[in-house]
Amino acid sequence: MLKLRTIFAPGSTETADFPNQPAVVRVHAGDTVVAVVNLPGGLPARGKKAFVGMSADGAAAIGVQVLRKNPLTYFLEVKLRDPVLPQAGAGRLDVTFTCEVGGLLSRVGGSLRPNRHGTRFHFP
C-alpha cells in the first residue's frame, strides 16, 4: 500500500473547492509513473472540515481536512492499494508527488529509502 500524508497551505488569494473540482495525485520516479489516483467527481464533504473521496473499486482514497483557519492549512492523506513500485534495492529512489485537489496544485520531491530487508520503501 502506498500512503502519502502531507500538510499544505495555499496562498492567501487561492481558494479550494474540494467537492466540485477533480482530485488527482501522481507519483513519478524519474520518467516512470509509479501511481496515479484520479477522482473526477472531487472530494465530497464529510462533516464541516473534512473532504473524502474513494475510487469506484475502493483501491484508492484521498482525504483533506482543515487543520487551521488562520493561516488556512490543510492535511492531505492519500492511500493507494497495490501501487506499481520498482523492486527495492540497495539505493534510494528519487520520487516526485504531484497533487491537484480542489483546484490547488502542490508538488514535493524526495527520496524513498529501502528498509534493511529491501522489501519496503520509506519516505524520510
Predicted confidence pLDDT, tens digits, the chain (124 residues): 788 888 888 888 888 999 999 999 998 887 888 888 999 999 999 999 999 999 999 999 999 999 998 889 999 999 988 777 666 555 777 889 899 999 999 888 888 887 777 667 777 6
Task: Fold for 2-122, please state it.
Answer: Immunoglobulin-like (2.60.40)
β-sheet bridge partners, residue 24 = 38, 100
Nearest to 26 by CA among 69, 83, 88, 90: 83
Which residues does 22 contact at the CB level (< 8 Å), separation at least 6? 38, 39, 40, 41, 42, 100
Task: Examine residue 71 and say whether the peptide bond preceding it is cis (omega within 30 degrees of 0).
Answer: yes
β-pairing, 50-54 with 60-69? antiparallel
